[in-house]
Structure 1
Amino acid sequence: MSRQKTARQAPPAQDGTDERRAQWQAELPDVDTRGMAILGRARWITLTARPPIEAVFKRHGLDSGEADVLFSLLRSGPPYRLRPTELFRALMISSGGLTDRLNRLEKAGLIRRVAAEGDGRSLPVELTEQGIRCAGDAFREDMAIEAAMLAGLTEDEQSQLASLLRKLALTIGATQPFA
């Protein structure tokens, strides 16, 4: 009779969140810190991922808010035009915040405001040819950086994580009036 050797799995790597949870467990053992294990890590990931992504936008002469406007217009499809109301609702910002972004993008030649058919009061926003190129180039570069950041996960793990995060986002969105 032979015995099969079972491979010993290495314990999972520890990160700063694990250390903080252990400290809280020692200090306040009655407090459930599972939220920190997920949301704390999500916050750290976001804060760590933002600088290289924002550097992409800067190389294209944009800040992240301006990139959001261009990306919203580009993904809307030809003629790459939306009403300002559609834009500020999609971006979840104030109309005043959108106006500032639009003014900067128009000055840079990336968007133009065109008269709407049958409505002289509304000036839809559309990408210029230069804006289409800029948005496409910046988005491609952004997605390449994000893909590199996810390279430590298999495709199945990425899919599973995306699914779980979607479920969490929907749960949080359903319970928060501001989400």
Structure 2
Amino acid sequence: MSDKIAPIESIIERMKANLPADNLPAAATVKRLYWAREQLFSMSKQVMEKNTLSAGEYDALGSLRVQGSPFELTPSDICQNNMLSSGGLTKVLNNLEKRGLISRHACHEDQRSRKVRLTQAGQNLIESALSEVFADYETRLAKTLSASERQQLDNLLGKLNQPGNE
């Protein structure tokens, strides 16, 4: 293991030295989670830039792709899946539609509602982007954690993400 201290650990040491001790262990855990997310998200950012996608556009396309064929959702479902506001989503969907990556059509069950569907171009773009990002995740995680450590981390994060823990 390297003698070099990760930047986040330096930040946590400064927190411990300069802040009241109340709840610092919890704050340190959350800081580490946030730092890890940012480190892993760096590849996603590069892929988004390469494909001229905003984070909202990338997330919307990803949400549609994971639905399976016919790769469609209501705008409300996309908002829920990505913690976006409806106003923010409107801009995202307008941009994606202009680029030919999605189409919108009336919902057969409720004519007042519209569904958003991936086009073939949108499917091709998001599959390529996700493949690149997921391969990076795998490389980074495999380099750092054993299979049993990854399973333990997944279990612990699963506990944190249980309903009612908001």
TM-score range, shorter chain: 0.7 to 0.9
Residues 32 and 103 of structure 1: CA distance in aligned 2, closer, same or farther (over 3 Å): closer
Structure 1 position 21, deviation (Å): 4.5
How far, CA to CA, are the matches of 2:103 and 2:29 in structure 1? 42
Q: d(CA) in 1 for partners of 2:45 and 2:19?
A: 38
What RMSD over aligned residues (CA atoms) do the two structures have, in Å? Answer: 2.5
Q: Which secondary structure state, in structure 2, belongs to the residue aligned with residue 114 of structure 1?
A: strand
* Residue of structure 1 aligned with 2:115, choices 118, 124, 129: 124
Which residue does 1:157 correspond to in 2? 149
> Highest CA radius of gyration, 1 or 2?
1
| Distance in 1 (alpha carbons) for counterparts of 2:15 and 2:105 | 57
Which of residues 86, 109, 115 in structure 1 aligns to 2:100? 109
What number of residue pairs does the alignment pair up? 165
Distance 2:105 2:87 in 1: 19
In structure 2, runs of 5+ residues without a counterpart are none
Alignment-derived partner of residue 158 in structure 2: 166
In the TM superposition, 1:91-110 aligns within 5 A as 91-110=82-101
Please tell me whether the aligned partners of residues 114 and 124 of structure 1 are also in contact (alpha carbons under 8 angstroms).
Answer: yes
Deviates more, 1:30-39 or 1:70-79: 30-39
Give percent identity, aligned residues only.
33
Mapping of 1:57-72 within 5 angstroms? 57-72=48-63
Q: Distance in 2 between matches of 1:112 and 1:77?
A: 16
Provide the TM-score with structure 1 as the length reference. 0.79
Taking a change above 3 Å as real, the CA distance of residues 100 and 14 of structure 1, as seen in their structure-2 partners, is same
Give 4+ residue runs of structure 1 displaced > 3 Å after superposition: 12-32
Instruction: Return 5+ residue gaps in structure 1 as ranges.
Output: 1-9
Q: Deviations over 1:93-139 (max 9, x none)?
A: 21111111000000010000112225432221101111111111111
Cross-structure match for 2:80: 89
Go from structure 1 to structure 2 and tell me whether the alpha carbon gap of 1:34 and 1:125 turns closer, same or farther (over 3 Å shift): same
